[in-house]
C-alpha cells in the first residue's frame, strides 16, 4: 500500500491551491460530498430524539463530514504538503470502460462475449499491451472461466445468449 | 478447561470429515493462487471467490472461506517477498526485509520462515480464539443497544489511530463510509434514502461491490501506474527450509509476534493491521544489531508474519462472539454467512455449536495445510509471478467481474463497481485511505440500528449513552484514543512506525 505511485513530494510554499494542493482538493471533495448528501436527503424526515426519523443519522454524519472537510481545507492553507501529482487518465478510463462493457453484455449476450471484451478493453489501459497476444489471452481466459464457473462450479452465469435461437 | 477440550474435540470431529478437510485444502490452494497475484489482497480474493462457496452447505462454506482467507494472506506475503508488491497493508512490513532477502538469493528461506512463523502463530491464535469465545459470548449477552453502539464507536476510534497519514482524513473517510451505509431503505420506516429512485440501490450498496470497486479495482489502477517499477526477483530461490541459525534467530521473534498479533487482533476496529508494524518495531528495538533490519534480517520477516497471521485469526473473535465485524474481510464473512442463513453473533455458539467449533478447529487445520502445501509449491508460485502484469491485470479484472456479478446475479452491481473504481482511484490520488471508509461502512449500519434502538429504549434520552456505565467506559476509551492520536508526540511515533 505504501508503494507509491504518488509519493508525497513537499511543495515549495505559495502554490496555487494553498500550501498543500493535494489536501486542499481532498478537503474540497469531502465538503462537496457532504453537501451532496445533505441535498440528496433533504426531503427526508429527521424525526426527533424520541422517535428518530430516516434522515437523522445521515444528516448528522453529513454535517460532521462537512466540518471535517473544512478543517482539512483550512490545514491545507496553513501547512506545506504534497503537490497534486500526476493524474494519468488512461488506466481509469479503460479499466472502467471494460467493467461497464462486461456489465452491459453479461446478461444480454453472455460470458463468451463479455469475457473477451473485459480483457481486450482493459488491455488498452496499459502501454505495454501487445494486441495479438492480448486477443489470444482473452480467448483462452474466457474459455477457462467458462469451464471453471459454468461447468465445474455450475454458477448460474449466462455463457452465450442468441435471442430466439440459443441460450447456454 | 475441560469445556475447552470438549468443545475443541467437537470442533475437530466436524472439521476432520473428509469433505471439510478437502474444502479447507481447496480453499487454501485457490486462496493462495489468487492471493499471489500482485496487488490482490485478501479482500479482493474473497470477493472474487465468494460465489464458489454458494453451492456448499454452511459449515463447509465457512471452512472453505476461512481457508481462502489464510491462503490469500500467505499468497500476499509471497508476492511481497518476491515482487515487492504488498497485496494489502499488513504485507507492507514483509516487503522490507523479505524482499531484501530475496534479492540476496534467500527468497526460499524468507518464504519458509513466513510459513513456519504463520503456522506457530495460527496454532496459538486458534487456542486464544477457543479460550476467549465462551466468556466473551457471555459478556455479549449482557450488552444492550447502547453498549453495542459505544463499543463500535471505540472500534472506529481505533481505526482512526491505525490509519496511516492524517488523522483528520482518516476521520473523514470513516464518516464517508458511515454515510454510504445509510444509502438504501431505512429499516424502521421503509423509506428509501438517497437512492434517487434507482432500484438496485434500494437494498443499499452491497459490501462486496463496494470493497471490490473502491479497493480492489483501485488497487489495479495504482499498480498499472507503477507497472514499470515492478521488480520480480531474478536471484535463485535458495533452499526453502531455514537453517538452524535462521530458526534460532527467528524463534523468539515468532513467539513475540504471535502474542502481539493475537492481542491486537481482538480489538474491534481492525487492530490486526497494527500487529506486523508493532512486531517489526519491537524486533528492531530488541535486536543487537538494528542496522541489519531493512537489509534482509530474517527476524524482520518472522516476527511480522507471525503477528499478521495471529491477528488475522483472532479478528474472528469480535465477529463470532459479538457479531461485530472488526475489518473488511470479516464483513465479507458476514455477507457469506448471511447467504447461508447464519447470523453471526453470540447466538451462533449456542444454536449451532458444530458450526462454531468446527470453524475454529478448521482454523488450525488451515494453517497446517498452508505449511504443507506452500513449502513444496513455492516454485510454482514463482513461475506464476513471472507472468507479466500486462496480462495479469486483465485476468484479475475478468475474475473480479465474474465474482461481483455472481454475488447477486446482478449486472447493476458490476456497473456500480465500475463507478466506484474511479472514485477509489481519485481517493488514492488525494491520499484519502479507503480502509477506514470500508470499516465505517461495515459498522455504520449496525451503529445506526443500535443508536436508534438505544434511543427508543431510553425514550429519546440521549444521555443513556453516558448514564450506562459500560457504555460510558467504552465512549471514554474512544475519546481517549482519538485524543492520544492527535497528541504531537504520539503522532510522530505513529508516523515512524508506518513509514519505516
The residues pairing with A18 across neighbouring beta strands, listed in sequence order, are A15
User: Worst-scoring range by mean pLDDT, A111-125, B194-208, B235-249?
Assistant: B235-249
Determine contact: B495 vs chain A, CB below 8 A: no
Q: How far is residue B126 from each of residues A44, B121, B133, B276, B315, measured CA to CA in Å?
A: 47, 8, 11, 18, 11
Q: How far is B87 from chain A (nearest CA, A)?
A: 7
Which pLDDT belongs to residue B485?
76
Q: How far apart are CA A38 and CA A35, in angstroms?
A: 5
Query: pLDDT (tens digit, 9 = 90+) per residue, B130-153?
Result: 888 888 888 888 888 999 999 899
Nearest to A106 by CA among A66, A150, A60: A150
Q: How far apart are CA B52 and CA B403, in angstroms?
A: 9
Which pLDDT belongs to residue B201?
87
Q: What is the pLDDT along chain A (168 residues), one digit of tens a residue?
A: 344 445 444 545 444 567 889 999 999 999 999 999 999 988 888 888 878 888 889 999 999 999 999 999 999 998 888 888 888 899 999 999 999 999 999 999 999 999 999 999 999 998 888 999 999 999 999 999 999 888 888 888 899 888 777 777
Which pLDDT belongs to residue A1?
38
Percent of chain B with pLDDT over 90: 28
Checking if the pLDDT of B265 tops 80, the result is yes
Of B176, B452, B461, the CB nearest to A33: B176
Confidence of residue B231 (pLDDT cuts 50, 70, 90): low
**Can you tell me which residue has the cell 441460450?**
A167
SS3 A116: helix
Q: How far is B443 from chain A (nearest CA, A)?
A: 13
| Mean pLDDT of all residues in B324-352 | 84
Which pLDDT belongs to residue A17?
65
Query: pLDDT (tens digit, 9 = 90+) per residue, B390-444?
Result: 898 999 999 999 999 988 899 999 999 999 999 999 999 999 988 889 889 988 9
Interface A-B, measured as beta-carbon pairs within 8 A, has a size of 220
Which pLDDT belongs to residue B23?
92
B contact test, residue of A79, A92, A119 with most B CBs within 10 A: A92
Confidence of residue B178 (pLDDT cuts 50, 70, 90): very high
Checking if the pLDDT of B379 tops 90, the result is no
Q: How far is residue B478 from each of residues A93, B255, B433, B484, measured CA to CA in Å?
A: 41, 30, 20, 10
Q: What is the mean pLDDT of chain B?
A: 86
Which pLDDT belongs to residue B174?
93
Q: How far apart are CA B89 and CA B215, in angstroms?
A: 12
Percent of chain B with pLDDT over 70: 95
Which pLDDT belongs to residue A4?
43
Residues 406-445 of B with CB under 8 A from A: 406, 409, 411-412, 414-415, 417-419, 421-422, 425-426, 428-432
User: Worst-scoring range by mean pLDDT, B273-277, B282-286, B375-379, B490-494?
Assistant: B490-494
Q: Scanning every residue of chain B, which has its alpha carbon at the shortest distance from the alpha carbon of A1?
A: B89
Of A58, A84, A85, the CB nearest to B182: A58
Checking if the pLDDT of B122 tops 80, the result is yes
Q: How far apart are CA B195 and CA B403, in angstroms?
A: 24
Q: How far apart are CA A83 and CA A23, in angstroms?
A: 9
* Burial of B401 per CB tally in 10 Å (0-12, 13-18, 19+): buried
Checking if the pLDDT of B473 tops 50, the result is yes
Query: pLDDT (tens digit, 9 = 90+) per residue, B86-105?
Result: 777 778 888 889 888 988 88
Q: Which residues of A touch B408 (CB under 8 A)?
A: none
Query: What ipTM did this prediction achieve?
Result: 0.87
Q: What is the distance of C-alpha B66 from the center of its chain? A: 11
Determine contact: B465 vs chain A, CB below 8 A: no
Checking if the pLDDT of B494 tops 70, the result is no
Q: How far apart are CA B443 and CA B201, in angstroms?
A: 19
pTM: 0.87
Q: Which residues of B touch A133 (CB under 8 A)?
A: 391
Q: How far apart are CA B258 and CA B72, in angstroms?
A: 19
Q: Which residues of A touch B417 (CB under 8 A)?
A: 99
Checking if the pLDDT of B249 tops 70, the result is yes
Whether B183 and B207 have beta carbons less than 8 Å apart is answered as no
Determine contact: B221 vs chain A, CB below 8 A: yes
Contact A54 B405 (CB under 8 A): no
Amino acid at each position: 500500500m505504501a508503494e507509491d505511485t504518488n509519493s508525497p513530494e513537499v511543495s515549495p510554499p505559495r502554490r496555487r491551491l494553498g500550501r498543500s494542493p493535494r489536501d486542499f482538493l481532498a478537503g474540497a471533495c469531502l465538503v462537496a460530498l457532504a453537501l451532496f448528501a445533505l441535498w440528496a436527503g433533504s426531503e427526508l424526515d429527521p424525526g426527533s430524539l424520541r422517535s428518530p426519523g430516516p434522515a437523522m443519522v445521515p444528516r448528522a454524519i453529513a454535517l460532521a463530514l462537512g466540518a471535517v472537510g473544512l478543517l482539512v481545507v483550512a490545514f491545507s492553507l496553513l501547512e506545506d504538503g504534497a503537490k497534486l501529482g500526476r493524474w494519468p487518465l488512461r488506466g481509469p478510463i479503460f479499466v472502467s470502460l471494460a467493467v461497464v462493457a462486461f456489465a452491459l453484455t453479461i446478461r444480454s449476450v453472455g460470458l463468451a462475449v463479455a469475457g473477451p471484451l473485459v480483457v481486450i478493453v482493459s488491455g488498452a489501459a496499459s502501454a505495454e499491451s501487445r494486441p495479438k497476444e492480448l486477443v489470444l489471452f482473452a480467448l483462452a481466459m474466457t474459455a477457462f472461466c467458462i469451464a471453471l464457473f459454468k461447468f465445474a462450479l455450475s454458477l448460474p452465469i449466462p455463457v452465450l445468449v442468441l435471442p430466439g435461437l440459443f441460450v447456454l | 478447561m475441560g469445556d475447552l477440550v470438549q468443545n475443541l474435540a467437537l470442533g475437530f470431529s466436524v472439521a476432520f470429515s473428509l469433505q471439510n478437510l478437502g474444502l479447507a485444502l481447496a480453499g487454501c490452494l485457490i486462496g493462495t493462487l489468487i492471493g499471489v497475484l500482485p496487488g490482490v489482497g485478501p479482500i479482493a480474493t474473497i470477493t472474487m471467490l465468494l460465489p464458489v462457496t454458494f453451492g456448499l452447505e454452511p459449515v463447509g462454506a465457512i471452512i472453505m472461506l476461512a481457508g481462502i482467507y489464510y491462503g490469500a494472506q500467505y499468497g500476499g506475503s509471497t508476492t511481497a517477498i518476491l515482487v515487492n508488491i504488498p497485496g494489502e497493508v499488513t504485507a507492507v512490513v514483509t516487503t522490507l526485509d523479505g524482499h531484501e532477502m530475496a534479492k540476496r538469493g534467500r527468497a526460499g528461506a524468507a518464504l519458509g520462515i513466513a510459513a513456519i512463523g504463520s503456522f506457530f502463530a495460527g496454532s496459538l491464535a486458534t487456542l486464544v480464539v477457543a479460550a476467549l469465545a465462551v466468556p466473551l459470548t457471555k459478556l455479549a449477552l449482557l450488552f444492550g443497544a447502547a453498549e453495542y453502539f459505544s463499543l463500535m464507536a471505540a472500534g472506529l476510534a481505533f481505526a482512526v489511530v491505525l490509519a496511516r497519514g492524517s488523522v483528520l482524513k482518516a476521520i473523514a473517510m470513516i464518516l464517508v463510509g458511515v454515510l454510504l451505509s445509510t444509502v438504501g431503505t431505512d429499516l424502521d420506516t421503509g423509506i428509501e434514502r438517497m437512492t434517487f429512485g434507482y432500484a438496485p440501490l434500494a437494498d443499499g450498496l452491497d459490501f462486496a461491490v463496494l470493497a471490490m470497486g473502491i479497493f480492489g479495482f483501485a488497487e489495479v489502477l495504482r499498480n498499472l501506474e507503477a507497472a514499470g517499477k515492478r521488480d520480480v526477483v531474478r536471484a535463485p530461490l535458495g533452499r526453502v527450509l531455514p537453517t538452524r541459525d535462521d530458526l534460532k534467530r527467528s524463534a523468539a521473534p515468532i513467539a513475540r509476534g504471535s502474542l502481539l498479533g493475537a492481542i491486537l487482533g481482538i480489538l474491534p476496529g481492525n487492530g490486526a493491521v497494527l500487529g506486523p508494524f508493532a512486531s517489526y518495531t519491537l524486533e528492531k528495538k530488541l535486536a543487537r544489531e538494528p542496522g541489519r533490519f531493512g537489509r534482509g534480517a530474517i527476524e524482520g520477516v518472522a516476527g511480522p508474519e507471525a503477528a499478521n497471521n495471529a491477528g488475522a485469526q483472532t479478528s474472528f473473535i469480535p465477529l463470532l462472539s459479538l457479531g461485530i465485524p472488526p475489518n473488511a474481510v470479516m464483513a465479507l464473512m458476514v455477507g457469506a454467512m448471511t447467504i447461508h442463513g447464519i447470523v453471526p453473533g453470540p447466538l451462533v455458539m449456542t444454536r449451532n455449536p458444530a458450526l462454531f467449533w468446527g470453524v475454529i478447529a478448521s482454523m488450525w487445520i488451515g494453517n497446517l495445510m498452508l505449511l504443507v502445501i506452500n513449502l513444496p509449491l513455492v516454485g510454482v508460485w514463482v513461475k506464476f509471478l513471472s507472468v507479466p502484469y500486462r496480462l495479469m491485470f486483465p485476468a484479475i479484472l475478468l475474475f473480479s467481474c465474474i465474482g461481483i456479478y455472481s454475488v447477486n446475479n446482478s449486472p447493476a452491481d458490476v456497473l456500480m463497481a465500475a463507478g466506484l473504481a474511479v472514485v477509489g482511484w481519485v481517493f488514492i490520488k488525494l491520499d484519502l485511505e479507503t480502509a477506514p471508509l470500508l470499516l465505517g461502512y461495515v459498522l455504520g449500519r449496525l451503529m445506526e440500528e443500535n443508536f436508534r434502538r438505544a434511543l427508543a429504549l431510553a425514550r429519546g434520552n440521549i444521555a443513556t449513552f453516558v448514564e450506562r456505565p459500560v457504555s460510558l467506559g467504552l465512549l471514554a476509551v474512544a475519546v481517549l484514543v482519538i485524543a492520544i492520536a492527535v497528541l504531537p508526540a504520539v503522532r510522530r511515533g505513529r508516523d515512524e512506525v508506518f513509514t519505516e
